[in-house]
Amino acid sequence: MPAGKHMTDEIDQQPAIFADLLAAQHEIAEVAGVIARRKPRFALLAARGSSDHAALYAKYLIEVLLELPVGLVSPSTTTLYGARPDLTDVLLISVSQSGGSPDLLRVTESGRERGALTAAITNNTSSPLAEAAELSLGIRAGQEQAVAATKTYSATLLTLYLLVDAIRGGDGTRARALPELATAALSERGAVDEAVQRYRFADRMVTTGRGYSLATAQEAALKLAETSYLSARAYSGADLLHGPVAAVDEETAVLALNSNGRGGESIREVLDVVHARGADICAIGSGAAHSAAAHRIPLPDCAEEVSPVLEVLPVQQLALGLALARGFDPDSPRGLNKVTKTT
C-alpha cells in the first residue's frame, strides 16, 4: 500500500461526513434540549491530544455563544490527586475519538458522582466513555485507519458546534454549506502543493491564530510534529508577541490561521510584526489575502464560528504532503498509537 494512503483517503472523506452529521442534527438537538433544560451554571471540558484542541474550540463556542464560563479539566487532579470538587449544576463534556482513554473515563465517572451533567462526544458510541456519561453523541466519522487524526478531528469540531448551536436554540444554519465548502477547499490543491515544496526542508515551525482559530493552530502544530517530525510550536497571536517573537527570524516558518472575522483581523496585526522580523509566513484561511505573508492558502468564506472546520483541511493536506516529501509514512508515525492511555 502506498505511504499515506489511509490518511489521504480519510482527508477526502470529510465532506461526506459533514453532510451525514448535518442530516443527523435531530439527534444532536435531543441532547442539546436536555442540557438546555438543566441550565448548567458552568461548563467543564475534558480531553487529550487532538480532542483537547477540539475542546478548546468548544470553549470558545460556549463562552461566546452561550455566555457560560468554561474550564478545561486537568485529568490528573482526579486520577493522581483524587480531587472531588462539588460539580452540582456543572456541564462536563468529555471528548475522546476512541472513547477508550482510562483517565477520561475516570473523570467522567467521578464527575457524574459529584453532580455534574455528563456528556461524551466520541466516535465509538459503545465505548466505556459513552456508557459512563449520562448523555452521548457519536461523531459519525467511521473507522479511522491512519494514526494521525483527520476526519475524526473535524467531525468532532462540527458535532461540538451543532451541539452548542442547538443549546442556544439554533438549527445549524451557519454550518449547512460546509460539505460543499469543504469539497471546494480540498479540491484546490495548488497552493498546498506549493507550500509543501516551500517548507519541505524546514526544521522548525511556529503556528499561530486567535479566537476560534487558535484550536486550528494547536492542531496544526501537533499534526506537523507527529507526521513530519518537525519541531512545531503553537502560540496564540497575543502570546506570540509577549516573548516568543524574539526567537522568530529569517530561519523561522510561521503557519498563520487567518479567516475573516474578529480573530482574523486581530492576527493580521501580529503578522505585521512577525513579517518585519523576516519570518517566512504561510497564511491559511478566508482572510489570507489580507495578510502580510510570503505564501497564502485561501479558503472559501464562512461564518467565523465554523471556520475551524474548514481551516484544518489544508493543514491536514500540508502535514500529509510534507511527511511524504520528507520520506515518511504518515499512516504509521513511529512510536504513536490512537488511544491516549495516560492515567
Catalogue the long-range contacts made by 244-247 (C-beta closer than 8 Å, 24 or more residues apart).
244/206, 245/273, 245/274, 245/277
Same fold, 5-175 and 188-325: yes
Mapping DSSP onto H, E and C, the string for the chain reads CCCCHHHHHHHHCHHHHHHHHHHCHHHHHHHHHHHHHHCCCEEEEEECCHHHHHHHHHHHHHHHHHCCCEEECCCHHHHCCCCCCCCCCEEEEEEECCCCCHHHHHHHHHHHHCCCEEEEEECCCCCHHHHHCCEEEECCCCCCCCCCCCHHHHHHHHHHHHHHHHHCCCCCHHHCCHHHHHHHHHHCCHHHHHHHHHHCCCCEEEEEECHHHHHHHHHHHHHHHHHHCCEEEEEEHHHHCCCHHHHCCCCCEEEEECCCCHHHHHHHHHHHHHHHCCCEEEEEECCHHHCCCCEEEECCCCCHHHHHHHHHHHHHHHHHHHHHHCCCCCCCCCCCCCCCCCC
The pLDDT of residue 334 is: 65
Locate 18 and state its grid cell: 459533514
Alpha-carbon span 168 to 304, nearest angstrom: 17
Q: What is the CA radius of gyration of the chain?
A: 19
What CATH number has the domain spanning 188-325?
A: 3.40.50.10490
The pLDDT of residue 343 is: 45
- Best CA proximity match to 325, nearest among 132, 183, 136, 192: 192
- Looking at domain 5-175, which CATH architecture does it have? 3-Layer(aba) Sandwich (3.40)
Locate 66 and state its grid cell: 452561550
**pLDDT tens over the chain, length 343 residues:** 899 999 999 999 999 999 999 999 999 999 999 999 999 999 999 999 999 999 999 999 999 999 999 999 998 998 889 888 999 999 999 999 999 889 999 999 999 999 999 999 999 999 999 999 999 999 999 999 998 999 999 999 999 999 999 999 999 999 999 999 999 999 989 999 999 999 998 888 999 999 999 999 999 999 999 998 888 999 888 888 777 776 677 778 899 999 999 999 999 888 888 888 888 899 999 999 988 899 999 999 999 999 999 999 999 999 999 999 999 999 887 655 555 555 4
The domain locations on the chain are 5-175, 188-325
- Best CA proximity match to 174, nearest among 68, 305, 56: 305
Any idea which residue has 480531553 for its cell?
Answer: 47
